Amino acid sequence: MLLETANLNAGYGFLHILRDVSLKVDEGEFVCLIGPNGAGKSTTLRTIAGLIRPYDGRVSFRGQPINGLAGHRITQLGVSYISEAMNLFTNMTVHENLMMGAYTIRDKAFLRNQLDFVYSLFPRLEERRNQLSGTMSGGERKMLAIARGLMSNPKMVLVDEPSFGLSPLMTKAVFEALDLLNRERGLTILVVEQNVTLTLAATNRGYVIENGRIVLEGPSPALAADEYVRRVFLGI
Amino acid sequence: MIHWFKGFFAWLRTAAGVSVSAAVLLAAFAAIDRGPYVLVNTVVMGGMLGLVAMGLAIILGVLNIPSFVHGEFFMIGGLAAYYVITPIKDYLFENPSPFLAVVGPVLAIGAATLAGALAGALAELLVFRELRRRNRDNWVMNCFLLTVGLNVILINGHQLLFGADFKGIVSYWEGRPIELFDVAVSMDRLLAFLISVSIVVGFWLFMKYTRTGRAIRAVAQDETGATMVGIPLGWIMTLTMALGCGLAAVAGGSLLFMYPSYPTVGMEATYMAWFVVILVGLGRVLGALVGGFMVALLKIVTLEYVGSGWDFVVPSALIILVLIFKPSGIFGSEVRGVLDQ
């Protein structure tokens, strides 16, 4: 098991959000976490990424406990978090942002390799390499956020709302890129999304979260056909 | 070429362009009217004030701490330099040695920088890190109060341990003043200027081209983003605090011949650094250097034309005008990082 959370409880101060969240992601899987607004999807990712300290429960990565580690240690272990707000360095160029993404890599040749790889994945970024990231369009910034997350050569990426603020066309392109990474590079992906139809079509397996609890889990096609999911999320 | 000119004229019409050209005109007028020594004084004082203000700006930008204890690191620098240079001078009086006469002041200023950086790192580790770990609500206000408290502790600690008398020297380097544009410039002033130039250049190269320097800029721009790419926040913050306080302390050490160390010597440095930082816009590190020269010019021109005692009034009046008409500062920062929390 690559990533596992067991009875995770977390939140912000007195605001208890996650209640006994247990989920498992195996190596090479493309897993989604879906649910309505405020269900705790982003909180789950932020807790795994070490940006929030859980109240209790366990998070383990490759069998090692990582709950309570500082966020930068978790990145160094090979879990890359791509946030909804993107958290780009807006006064740095595209190229500088990517170099910051490779902060944990010291091998120069390997770094150049990674840079070539993300530029081949998103040729648009290479065209804009000297532009300040704060001046780019939403779709380009999202690409940059994903590319920056990939620069550290992670074993696993946590992607928070890849469709947020994007046009349907752009959303599709982002999902295609994630799918490509998963299939061709064997990258393990845990994605959080509100666009349920598209997400269930792209992923292998899914969890449904409501009010901070996991209520359903199963292979994505089964979830897409599930009576409850269809009624609540798809409105059918 | 034409494109370049167009860009230049566009810049002249911005707030930064207007104020920089006004400062240049004022400096030219004062230099012609009263003599070039006005320029020499401005450049020496501006370089040092620029260092202190850069330190304040980087602490503000990276750690989000509005530091009202910044001048006390200037005081610590002066104190450390005094206690290193005095025994060296005493020794030199008995057995003259041209080598030690040159190396001694360098040692003293180096010790000042180190002492300031160490004190800054300690302040971060013992005070601000503890606050950050416990509670980040009202961070800016709480930090402001903590720095004021630290200010009281350091001033009174100085008085308790070292006494309230002036601990100063006449000069670092012996030797005749050098003639520059018909002005006699003492070696100490010239070297103070050279020190500030070399530190600014080194600092700029460090921030632009090293991995750690880029990490500091990244933390200033987005703390969460920096954590996400694997930058250790704690280390970067301690290092930034040490760097910022070291910049104040190197100025304190270099200017020991003008500002003897006594408990409240840092107050003026704190106020002046804040004038600069408000003038150029919070978090503008290189802008703080330009602002340092502008505030120094204003202060010296005021001393020259209005009279001593007014040198605080005019810069303060300017700050009031800046806060009313261009609260983001003349270099127009978005004031991110300070209001965000």
pLDDT of B341 reads 29
Judged by a CB distance cut-off of 8 A, whether residue B225 touches chain A is yes
pLDDT of B187 reads 84
Nearest to A152 among B221, B229, B234 (CB): B229
Does the distance separating the beta carbons of A92 and B230 come in below 8 Å? no
- The residue in chain B having the minimum alpha-carbon distance to the alpha carbon of residue A84 is B225
- The residue in chain A having the minimum alpha-carbon distance to the alpha carbon of residue B334 is A91
pLDDT in tens, B45-57: 999 999 999 999 9
pLDDT of B147 reads 95
Query: What is the signed CA dihedral for B300, B306, B309, B315, rounded to 10 degrees?
Result: -60
Which numeric CATH code is attached to A1-78+156-162+187-236?
Answer: 3.40.50.300
**Shortest Cα–Cα distance, A234 to chain B (Å):** 33
B283 is a domain residue: yes
B14 is a domain residue: no
**Shortest Cα–Cα distance, A236 to chain B (Å):** 38
H or E stretch at A40? none
CA distance B112 to B107: 9
What domain range is B141 assigned to?
19-325
Task: Using DSSP, state whether B266 is helix, strand or coil.
Answer: helix
pLDDT of A5 reads 94
Write down the domain spans for chain A. Answer: 1-78+156-162+187-236, 83-153
Taking only residues 52 to 81 of chain A, the set having a beta carbon closer than 8 angstroms to any beta carbon of chain B reads 70-72, 75-76, 80-81
**Residue B179 dihedral angles phi and psi, to the nearest 5°:** -85, 120
pLDDT of B217 reads 92
pLDDT of A23 reads 93
Nearest to B224 among A51, A70, A91 (CB): A51
H or E stretch at A9? strand A3-12
pLDDT of A78 reads 94
Does the distance separating the beta carbons of A96 and B230 come in below 8 Å? no
B339 is a domain residue: no
Give the mean pLDDT of B307-326.
85
Give the mean pLDDT of B288-294.
91
Report chain A residues whose CB lies below 8 A from the CB of B226. Answer: 72, 100
Minimum mean pLDDT range among A18-22, A38-42, B97-101, B270-274: B97-101
CATH of residue B37's domain is 1.10.3470
B195 is a domain residue: yes
pLDDT of A36 reads 86
Work out how many domains chain B is built from and give that number: 1
Count of alpha carbons within 13 Å of B75, Cβ hemisphere only? 25
pLDDT band per the 50, 70, 90 thresholds, residue B89? confident
Give the mean pLDDT of A177-202.
91
Nearest to A89 among B225, B227, B232 (CB): B225
CA distance B208 to B3: 27
Which strands form A213-219's sheet, in the order they lie side by side? A79-82, A156-160, A188-193, A30-34, A205-210, A213-219
Mean per-residue pLDDT over chain B, rounded: 88
pLDDT band per the 50, 70, 90 thresholds, residue B336? very low
pLDDT in tens, B104-159: 889 999 999 999 999 999 999 999 999 988 888 889 999 999 999 999 999 999 99
**Residue A80 dihedral angles phi and psi, to the nearest 5°:** -105, 130
Of the candidates B250, B294, B313, which has an alpha carbon nearest to the alpha carbon of residue B43?
B294
Report chain A residues whose CB lies below 8 A from the CB of B232. Answer: 70, 72
pLDDT of B19 reads 84
pLDDT of B338 reads 37
Task: Using DSSP, state whether A27 is helix, strand or coil.
Answer: coil
pLDDT of A229 reads 87
pLDDT in tens, B174-216: 777 777 777 778 888 888 889 999 999 999 999 888 999 999 9
Nearest to A87 among B214, B217, B222 (CB): B222
pLDDT band per the 50, 70, 90 thresholds, residue B332? low
CA distance B208 to A96: 10
pLDDT of B313 reads 87
pLDDT of B35 reads 81
pLDDT of B58 reads 93
Does the distance separating the beta carbons of B221 and A72 come in below 8 Å? no
pLDDT of A152 reads 93
Contact (Cβ atoms closer than 8 angstroms) between residue A10 and residue A54: yes
H or E stretch at B97? none
**ipTM for this prediction:** 0.90
